Structure 1
């Protein structure tokens, strides 16, 4: 059986471009070029029927290593906890107070972008510290 080489992470959301641009800032991702024949994404959007304008947006890892993130507009809002979430690896290799300080600094940067810090989970002897966050539309993610 062949192995899967790439995958995409899809977010349901109310404002695809807003959420995508937030995640670009979080992860250092970029907005890919607009489709062939269009100078900008705005030009592309204007070419669509009104009900499809702004219906989706995407961002990609400029190194080509990470998965593509796709954001699609859905009519319903988020009601309960995500079944899947991203873990942003901001403290890899760090332990103790150094790790927590690094995570708290990254949390402050993301809060300035519109994220919400939900809670800090402190090291317990088995697991290192992490911080539970929410993006600009309330989707949970972790800084770890």
Structure 2
């Protein structure tokens, strides 16, 4: 999986994931969900539908003592589907808390027409402790801009 590098805060901001993220209810708990365009969602499902697929996920954390960014890389083995989602963690503490707790990340379509559906694709993280370490780094380094 390619590691992305950014040199300036402006580069980080320019590469942020635009479709957003949310939390979804699943088995009595909350699961973090990365939203993608309906086109990208359909493309992803088309590549994995009917196949036994494993997903490789990598959380790459960038921080400077104030701003924390997490680059979430998802690659489906045996397909050419690989995506990076750069998230600004300062504003998403609940998202990363749910990730550390559940060890699952979901992906779902971003358009409102799908808002009430159960149309999400869930991915089990290979190592839940990586998400827990990421949460600890985020909590220690993120300084909320709302203070």
Fold conserved (TM > 0.5)? no
TM-score range, shorter chain: under 0.3
**Which structure has more strand as a fraction of its residues?**
2
**Which structure has more helix as a fraction of its residues?**
2
Question: How does the TM-score come out when normalised to structure 1?
Answer: 0.26
Question: How does the TM-score come out when normalised to structure 2?
Answer: 0.25
